[in-house]
Amino acid sequence: MGRFRDALAQDGLTAIAEVKRRSPSAGELRPDADPAELAAAFERAGAAAVSILVDKRFGGTPADLAAARAASDVPLLAKGFFSELAELEQLRSLGADAVLLLLRDLDDSQAGALMAAAEELGLDTLVEAHDADELRRAVELGADPIGINARDLATFAIDRGAQLRLVESAPRDRIVVAESAIAARAHGAEAELAGADAVLVGSALMRAPDPAAKLAELLARPLVKVCGLTREEDVAAAAEAGADLAGFVLAQETPRRAPAVLPVPDTMLSVAVHVGEVTDDGADLVQLYARENGHRARDAALLRRDERVGSVVDLPWEQEDPSHLERARATEGRVMLAGGLGADNVREAISAVNPWAVDSARSTESAPGIKDHDAVRRWVEAARG
């Protein structure tokens, strides 16, 4: 495997930032996009790799690849509709580290031959699947990495739910890239929790006033959770402030108990907080505490569809603990840090723990279960740094 695949395999969610001037589905995106300028900016903003559209249907040319190569050291993916060895040879000569292969357009014999040729040339291949049959073919061909596109290239329709189900079913020993439909941190986080190692982001970046700043925003961690939500107007305030996770406490023993998991906008994931057992609440994620002595246990498991995807490191029930941050720092895997956090101390906690997410309920309230919208904004701003 080459440096493109290795770059995507780094710890945490990585990103392929895409340069494209137009799209057949969306029309003109950024007609004056400069691939050299953007590739360098994306590299500075944290992209693991950069995708360059070299097809005229997307306003691209092979010369864009050469320009990006001259301006940056980041691994480059040449993206187009390739079916000939000569195309791969040209792309390698212009600086590509990887090429896209679309199983929609290639049979297994063609795809296998191109993968073998790419390997001889020192190119990685991102083999793209759109449905379960194409994913099966990619796996049987030995593809690594595998791209799973949320967009149907025949109809241009987006189906993130179908994409996530395919990501879930992909082998864990392959690098999996969730492509398309990533426009908010929550989208990337959901793909990550489903099993994606990386996301490919194009249109959202090209539409942004500052594409590199948008990329940095999408990659920013920790995620920020506002918990103890009980009212729709408070969910809206949390979303407007830029929170990524909306927490709804469904346990009996708290004045912050929500009537249900309320609707959240597309830019957020909902988190149902349970003690002892989980009911069918329809949340994106579950924060599950054991029950001890009539109250919740100290820490919780973070679950997605019954699979543990992280740990919530919290304070004991209504108690302080000076070892809280040390315990969190020693916890392996994704950590959501909760308990006693507010705008005044969250930056210190983030510096100490480097958590995947941070959670606050009381510091954002005017009364139990009722949010102070100014406090919500202060909390999110402080957590973002």
Please name each of the domains of the chain with its CATH number: 3-219 (3.20.20.70), 223-384 (3.20.20.70)
Return the residue matching tokens 């967009």: 151
Q: Could you tell me the CA-to-CA distances from 188 to 215, 349, 381 in Å, in that order?
A: 11, 24, 20
| Tokens (6 digits) for 250 | 């469904």
Answer whether 125's CB lies under 8 Å from 99's CB. yes
User: What pLDDT, on the 0 to 100 scale, is given for residue 147?
Assistant: 98
How many other C-beta atoms can be found within 10 angstroms of the C-beta atom of residue 350? Answer: 20
User: What pLDDT, on the 0 to 100 scale, is given for residue 125?
Assistant: 98
Residue 289 CA to residue 277 CA, distance in Å, equals 8
Q: Taking the model in full, what pTM does it have? A: 0.94
The number of CA neighbours under 13 Å toward the Cβ of 65 is: 26
Secondary structure class of 78 (helix, strand, coil)? strand
- DSSP for 62-100? HHHHHHHHHH--S-EEEES----HHHHHHHHHTT-SEEE
| Tokens (6 digits) for 334 | 């994704």
Residue 281 CA to residue 80 CA, distance in Å, equals 42
| Phi (first) and psi of residue 19, to 5 degrees | -105, 115
User: What are the residues facing 307 on neighbouring strands?
Assistant: 304
User: What pLDDT, on the 0 to 100 scale, is given for residue 180?
Assistant: 87
Residue 206 CA to residue 33 CA, distance in Å, equals 8
Residue 209 CA to residue 202 CA, distance in Å, equals 14
Residue 126 CA to residue 107 CA, distance in Å, equals 15
User: What pLDDT, on the 0 to 100 scale, is given for residue 258?
Assistant: 95
Answer whether 170's CB lies under 8 Å from 149's CB. no
The secondary structure element, H or E, covering residue 382 is helix 373-384
User: What pLDDT, on the 0 to 100 scale, is given for residue 23?
Assistant: 85
**pLDDT (tens place) for every residue of the chain, 385 residues total:** 799 999 999 999 999 999 999 987 778 889 999 999 999 999 999 999 999 999 988 889 999 999 999 999 999 999 999 999 999 999 999 999 999 999 999 999 999 999 999 999 999 999 999 999 999 999 999 999 999 998 776 677 788 899 999 999 999 999 999 998 899 999 999 999 999 999 999 999 999 999 999 999 999 999 999 999 999 999 999 999 999 999 999 988 788 999 999 999 999 999 999 999 887 779 999 999 999 887 889 999 999 999 999 999 999 877 788 899 999 999 999 999 999 999 999 999 999 999 999 999 999 999 999 999 999 999 999 999 8
Q: Could you tell me the CA-to-CA distances from 170 to 64, 109, 116, 147 in Å, in that order?
A: 32, 22, 22, 10
Answer whether 123's CB lies under 8 Å from 92's CB. yes
Q: Could you tell me the CA-to-CA distances from 363 to 320, 336, 373, 375 in Å, in that order?
A: 15, 17, 11, 7
Q: Could you tell me the CA-to-CA distances from 264 to 217, 234, 253, 356, 370 in Å, in that order?
A: 20, 10, 24, 21, 17
| C-alpha torsion angle, residues 7, 12, 13, 19 (rounded to 10) | -40
